[in-house]
Structure 1
Amino acid sequence: MIRCLIVDDEEPARELIKLHLSDLDGFEVAASLSNALDAFTFLQKNSVDIVFLDIRMPRISGLELVRSLKYTPRIILTTAYREYAAEAFEIDVFDYLVKPITHERFMKAIAKYMHYQSGQAATMDTQKNDDHAYMFFKVGRDQVKVFLKDILYIEGLADYIKVHTKDKSYIASEKLGYMEEKLPLNSFVRIHKSFIIALDKISSYNADQVILNNNKALPLGRLFKAGFLTIVQIKKQS
C-alpha cells in the first residue's frame, strides 16, 4: 500500500487530492492536514511514501517544511503559484502541480512515481559484499552498470545526474535526491545541493570544501555541513 500525506490549508484542495487518489488501487491517505507544522510532527512519527504539499501556508511554507526534514518521502507540490518552481526543484521535489489540478495532470505525476518505484531508472544489487555492489543507470537508451566502489561523486543537473568515476562520467536520467535515498549511508554523503560524494574517496576537507583523492575540490554547502561532519566523525570512530 502506498501511503500518502496531504498538506494544504484549503479544504477543497485537500478533498480534490483525496478524490483523485480514490480512483487508484493500492493508494491510501494516511493523513490530511491543514498546515506544515502538523505535517512536520506527523512525519516525525509516521512513514509515508508521497506528500502532496501546498507551498503558501500560515506560519511555515511547504518549501520550509521540505528543508526541515532530514529524510523526505517523495514530495509533489500542489500550488497556485508557478514562480516557486525553480526554487522547488533545487531541493529535489518530485513533481510540481499547478492548481487547478486536472485529473490528467495528477495521473501523470502518479505514473512518474510508479516508474521510479519500479526501479526502471536505477536498480541496486543487494549483495552484502560492497566490492560487488552496483547500480544500473539509465544513460540514453541503455541501462549502464556501475560498481559503487568506482564512483567518486555524483553531480546533480536538474532532472539528470552526472556520475563521475575515475575513468569515465555518465549522464543519467535520475534526480540527485533519489540517489541520496538509494545509496548506502555508510558509503556516500551529500555535501551540497548539487553533490553526493563517496566517503572513501575523500582526501581532505575544510570549512568550505571537500577535496577528493583525484584532487577534485567540491563545495561544502552550509545546509549539509553538520550532517557531513557528523558522518565523518562516525567513520573515524568505526
Structure 2
Amino acid sequence: MNCIIVDDEPLARQAVKSLVSGTKDLNLVGSFNNATSAADFMKDNIVDLVFLDIQMPGVTGLEFARQIPKTTLVIFTTAYAEYAVESYETEAIDYLLKPIDEKRFSKAVAKALAYHSLLIQEEKDDIEDGMDYFFVKSERRYFKVKYDDILFVEGLKDYVILQMDNQRIITKMNLKTILDLLPKKDFIRISKSYIVNTSHIESFDNNDIYVKSYQIAIGNSYRDNFFHSFVTRSM
C-alpha cells in the first residue's frame, strides 16, 4: 500500500518514516512538510494512505483530510488529543498521539490494510455487477475506458499501457493491481508484462498470441495456464 507522510516537523516525519520502513505492507512514496505540496504530489501519483499531522501552517490537516478522495485513507498523527472527535468526523481510519507507540502504529496500519482490501473488493464487485467501464488517470485527466475496448495491457515498472484500437493510455499503476480490477472471465495474464483481452485474440501458436496487428510472446511460466484456462475453455 503506497503511503505518504505530511507533517511540518522534521523529527515527527522521521519518526513516522522509521515506523513505516519496519512495516512490510507499506511503501513510502513521499514525505512533505505541508498539505499543498502533498496535494500536488497526489495529482500525479497513487497514494493509498496518508499519515497526516493536524496542526500545520497554511492548510491544516483537518482541512486537507476533507479534500482527500475517500479511496485514499487517512491516519492522523498529532500531539493534541482534543482533536480526536473532529478527526473522526473526516472519516479518518485512526488517530495516533505523538510520540507514537510502535504497537499502536501497527494496529492502525492493520485497520487501514483491512479497509483498503474492502475498497478493492468493492471495485471488483462493481465490475462483476455489470459495469462495463472504469476510469483511469493519465496526464491530470480521467479517462473512461470500456473493458471491451481494451486489446491488451502492458506493464512498464510502475506504469501500465492500456492499448485500444485507436488509442493508448498510460497510467501510474502496476500490472498486478489492474489485473485485480479486470473481469477474470475476459482477461488473462500471459507474461510478466502483458495481460490480454481474450475476446480480441485472433490466433496463437505455442509461443505467441496475435491480437489485431500485435504479436505478443507468451511467457514460459504462463504458458500452461494460458492453454488450460483459455484454450481448453474455448473448445
TM-score (norm 2): 0.50
CA 101–95 in structure 1, closer or farther in 2 if over 3 Å, else same = same
Letter of the aligned partner of 2:97 in structure 1? V
Aligned to 1:4: 3
Letter of the aligned partner of 1:129 in structure 2? G
Give the Cα separation in 2 of the matches to 1:70 and 1:23.
27
CA 81–72 in structure 1, closer or farther in 2 if over 3 Å, else same = farther
- Post-superposition offset of 1:68: 2.6
- Post-superposition offset of 1:89: 1.0
Aligned to 2:155: none
- Post-superposition offset of 1:127: 1.6
How many residues align? The count is: 129
- Post-superposition offset of 1:116: 2.2
Structure 1 SS opposite 2:95: strand
Give the Cα separation in 2 of the matches to 1:117 and 1:108.
14
User: Does structure 2 conserve the Cα–Cα contact (< 8 Å) formed by 1:66 and 1:72?
Assistant: no
User: Does structure 2 conserve the Cα–Cα contact (< 8 Å) formed by 1:55 and 1:77?
Assistant: yes
2:42 corresponds to 1:13: no
User: Does structure 2 conserve the Cα–Cα contact (< 8 Å) formed by 1:6 and 1:32?
Assistant: yes
Structure 2 gap segments, 5+ residues each: 132-235
Structure 2 matches for 1:86-97, cutoff 5 A?
86-97=85-96
Give the Cα separation in 1 of the matches to 2:89 and 2:129.
33
Identity value in percent:
43
Give the Cα separation in 2 of the matches to 1:104 and 1:86.
22
Structure 2 matches for 1:16-27, cutoff 5 A?
16-27=15-26
Letter of the aligned partner of 2:81 in structure 1? R
Structure 1 SS opposite 2:5: strand
Give the Cα separation in 2 of the matches to 1:106 and 1:70.
23
2:37 corresponds to 1:38: yes
- Post-superposition offset of 1:104: 0.7
Aligned to 1:233: none
TM-score (norm 1): 0.50
CA 129–3 in structure 1, closer or farther in 2 if over 3 Å, else same = closer
Structure 2 matches for 1:31-70, cutoff 5 A?
31-70=30-69
- Post-superposition offset of 1:44: 1.8
Give the Cα separation in 2 of the matches to 1:24 and 1:42.
23
Give the Cα separation in 2 of the matches to 1:71 and 1:45.
17
Structure 2 SS opposite 1:5: strand
Structure 2 SS opposite 1:55: coil
CA 72–57 in structure 1, closer or farther in 2 if over 3 Å, else same = farther
Give the Cα separation in 2 of the matches to 1:22 and 1:71.
25
Structure 1 gap segments, 5+ residues each: 131-238
